[in-house]
Structure 1
Amino acid sequence: MKILLKLLSFSGLLLTIAPPIIYFFGGMEMDSMKLWMLIGMIAWMASAPFWVNKKKQAVG
């Protein structure tokens, strides 16, 4: 489950970072960029709190 949350979190970060770069190079419209960044932000905010800054469980 933790791996799935990390995958979703990093996908959200990618969706927050990539659209402005694509927009800068002319490959995307402003409205599309904003939509993808919103989706990325929601994915990050919904998944990151469950694994960021969590202490690892002791084995044994």
Structure 2
Amino acid sequence: MNRAIKLGLKILSYSGLGIMLASTVLVFQQSVSMEFYKRAMLVGTCTWLLTAPFWINRSTEKQEEDQPVP
């Protein structure tokens, strides 16, 4: 996977986590409605789940080529 694409996926993934964290703090402070909180959590969760699997625990292609086949 291209380094630029991987970096972009990381940024999107962490943005999803940031959305979830920020919405939690805002609903705790009663700054936003429960409806907004639910939608923000849904967006953050979907963003994380759709982008994180592509870069977490992935070794580079070169490392995979260097490993011997058992």
User: Would you say same fold, with TM above 0.5?
Assistant: yes
Query: What is the Cα-based RMSD across aligned positions, in Å?
Result: 1.4
Q: Deviations over 1:3-60 (max 9, x none)?
A: 100000000001111101101111100000000010000000000000001114548x
1:31 aligns with 2:35: yes
How far apart in 2 are the matches of 1:46 and 1:22? 24
Larger CA Rg, structure 1 vs 2: 2
1:16 aligns with 2:20: yes
How far apart in 1 are the matches of 2:20 and 2:30? 17
Q: Which runs of 4+ in 1 moved over 3 A?
A: 56-59
48-57 vs 5-14, which deviates more? Answer: 48-57
| Unmatched runs of 5 consecutive residues or more in structure 2 | 64-70
**May I ask how many residue pairs the two structures share in their alignment?**
59
| Unmatched runs of 5 consecutive residues or more in structure 1 | none
1:43 aligns with 2:41: no
Identity %: 36
